[in-house]
Amino acid sequence: MFSKDTVVGVIGSGAMGSGIAQVAAMAGHKVIIYDSNEAAIEKSKSNLNNLLKKLLEKQKLTEQAATEISQKLYFSKSFNSFSECGIIIEAIVENLEVKQKVFSEAEKIVSENCILATNTSSLSIASVASSCKKNSRVLGIHFFNPAHIMPLVEIIPSLSTDASIVTETKKLIDSWGKLTVIAKDTPGFIVNRIARPYYGEAIRIYEEGFADFQTIDWAMKEIGGFKMGPFELMDFIGNDVNYKVTETVWEQFFYDTRYKPSLTQKRLFESGRFGKKSGRGYYDYSEEAVNPEPQKDKELGEKIFLRILSMLINEAVDAFYLNVASKEDIDLAMTKGVNYPKGLLKWCDQIGIDKIYNQLKNLQDEYGEDRYRPSVLMKRMESKGEKFFT
């Protein structure tokens, strides 16, 4: 179905769209990038040229290769340019109505065999596909930011997606040098679903006065081995983006308390404290800022780490139980999509499922909240002393 001659279309020339375009062009495809905003197109051109220059300087590309990649990138303000595309990947604002309108318009231009994909991180693929007459060719291809660096890509078919399209699309993205996982069309897919407690439970610990931002971040890095603490990571991602994903996952899970957003997160969003990009988030990023030091108490740190990790593992176990993805894909997604130090299911095996289960049961008994309920699968496996991997 796909070959090096397949023309790739990208809708949206923002950071994600530009990154996807670069990946496709570096894999040898002609790429057409569409955006209705002239300023956005010019910014994308500049950013892509600068990225190629950096790769040249680092000797990761030859001058000839950089020129060839640059010549494969075409920019357009007309949807008609997509008529020759074999696949189109949409990377625009996380708004269902806008995406549906774009897909409906794109379908009028492309050939019968062109695949239509959305890069959504949290919206229903089925809902996006419902705007198309031929919804069997629509699926999710979720890259992680920055797309040209992060290795993981989630492939998400809807109930209507043709199985052969999933297989061929996976082969295509694999050929671009990416690591692909197949996810069920459920809120947040794999990564954004399972990662919610990394932020939500950290905020809960802070709101209880158990520890401050700096100490929680220190615990997860020093004791847990995570590259970034939850508050650092939220500031890096952007608290506007992180809050919106949290809210979307919560709503799509019919307001399950496990995914409930926090008022702390909402107030930061309302205050425009989006993190690094706005100069202020959980931390102050201004030049003269001096952020407080963490409380480096190992016993406190271990309690924080085990509480957050137990919640993360519980989400991973439940995702496996509910057939969101295979256990191998779940662990691969978390290590390659958000750089976790270990796959959560393997981590559970190492620590002992009894220890994780007891931690969750103790929290559930103490708080009396459904938020801490252990997965049914964890309960069954704990009673039998089973492991996920032999």
CA 126, 262, 343, 348 dihedral sign is negative
Is the domain of 45 the same as that of 167? Answer: yes
Point out the catalytic residue in the list 121, 122, 242, 310: 121
If asked whether residues 226 and 329 sit together in one domain, one would say: yes
Same domain, 59 and 119: yes
Catalytic, out of 29, 135, 142, 232: 142
Please indicate, yes or no, if residue 323 is contained in any of the structural domains: yes
Residue 360 falls inside a structural domain = yes
261 near 243, Cβ under 8 Å? yes
- Residue 264 maps to a domain: yes
Determine, yes or no, domain membership for 142: yes
Residues 159 and 297 in one domain: no
From CA 8, how far away is CA 227, in angstroms rounded?
34
On whether residue 266 sits in a domain, the answer given is: yes
User: Which of 117, 147, 182 is at the close of a domain?
Assistant: 182
Task: Report whether the peptide linkage leading into residue 261 is cis, meaning its omega lies within 30 degrees of zero.
Answer: no
Residues 335 and 227 in one domain: yes
Residue 94 in domain: yes
Neighbour count for residue 123 (Cβ, 10 Å): 19
Domain shared by 47 and 68, yes or no = yes
Q: What is the pLDDT of residue 122?
A: 84
* Beta carbons within 8 Å of 333's beta carbon, 6+ residues apart: 152, 154, 181, 183, 190, 191, 194, 325
245 shares a domain with 145? no
Based on the fold, state whether residues 246 and 324 are members of the same structural domain: yes
Q: Is 154 a catalytic residue?
A: yes
Contacts of residue 320, defined as CB under 8 A and 6 or more positions apart, other chains included, come to 326, 327, 330, 345, 377, 388
Q: What is the pLDDT of residue 167?
A: 97
pLDDT at 380: 98
Same domain as 177, residue 254:
no
Q: Which CATH number does the domain housing residue 286 bear?
A: 1.10.1040.50
Query: Are 16 and 150 within one domain?
Result: yes
**Residue of 122, 192, 242, 310 marked catalytic:** 192
Per run of 10 residues, the mean pLDDT along the chain (length 390 residues) is 93 95 97 94 93 90 92 94 96 94 96 96 94 97 94 97 97 98 97 97 97 98 98 95 92 94 96 96 94 96 98 98 98 97 98 98 97 98 96
The verdict on 208 and 138 lying in the same domain is: no
Overall pTM surpassing 0.85 (yes/no): yes
Residue 293, token pair as written in the block: 């030091």
Annotated catalytic residue: which of 90, 107, 154, 315? 154
Can you give the residue range of the structural domain that contains 92? 7-182
Domain end marker among 182, 203, 238? 182
Q: Where residue 162 sits, what CATH number does that domain have?
A: 3.40.50.720
> Would residue 148 show up in a list of annotated catalytic residues for this protein?
no
- Rg, the chain, Cα only: 22
As for how many domains the chain has, the answer is 2
Judgement on whether residues 163 and 198 belong to the same structural domain of the protein: no
Return the SS3 of 328.
helix
Is 323 an active-site residue?
no
Q: What does residue 4 show for φ and ψ, rounded to 5 degrees? A: -65, -20
Tell which residue, 259, 15, 324, has the closest CA to residue 144: 15
pLDDT at 247: 93
How many other C-beta atoms lie within 10 A of the C-beta of residue 56?
15
Residue 355 belongs to some domain of the structure: yes
Domain boundary among 182, 213, 235: 182
* 106 in a structural domain: yes
Q: Quick one: which of 359, 352, 342 has its CA closest to 386? A: 352
Is 135 assigned a catalytic role?
Answer: no
